[in-house]
Amino acid sequence: MKRKLLILCALLSASAFGAGSSGTKLISELYVTPADVLVKTAENDWDNPDSCDLSNSLVLLKTHDSYDTMIAFLLSAQARKVKIRTWVTGCHERAGKTYPLIYGLSSYTE
């Protein structure tokens, strides 16, 4: 019984949190604004676990605790043409549409 309850709680919390991987892609463009950075890919759209309006770009907020590290990572990955893996949680409104919100990054090697 405890095991079933634990599994049920894990499933419910995962769907309520809605966080997940948005895939592994090459960065084609970075748009830096005073409030955020829009990360675009020339490949197929990013995965969109939270069903935001658009998934052709991801948003990194400048208020993120690791913003300085993450923007350096993104710029380096774009310059070196290295695929990155991203994790997103929630949606962020930008120009009237919502985009997946980045909370984690890593490099990807095949």
Q: The whole model's pTM is what? A: 0.78
Q: How confident is the model at residue 10 (pLDDT cuts 50, 70, 90)?
A: very low
Lowest mean pLDDT among 3-7, 40-44, 46-50, 98-102: 3-7
Q: Is the backbone of residue 80 left (phi > 0), alpha (psi -120 to 50) or beta?
A: alpha
Q: Give the strand order in the sheet containing 20-25.
A: 20-25, 84-94, 97-107, 57-61, 36-40, 29-32
Alpha carbon distances (Å) from 29 to 9, 81, 87, 109: 39, 11, 18, 20
Q: Mean pLDDT for the chain?
A: 83
* 4 has pLDDT over 50: no
pLDDT one-digit tens code per residue, 31-55:
999 999 999 988 888 999 999 999 9
Length of the chain in residues, anyone?
Answer: 110
Domains of the chain, with CATH numbers? 19-107 (2.40.50.110)
Contacts of 11 (CB under 8 A, 6+ apart): none
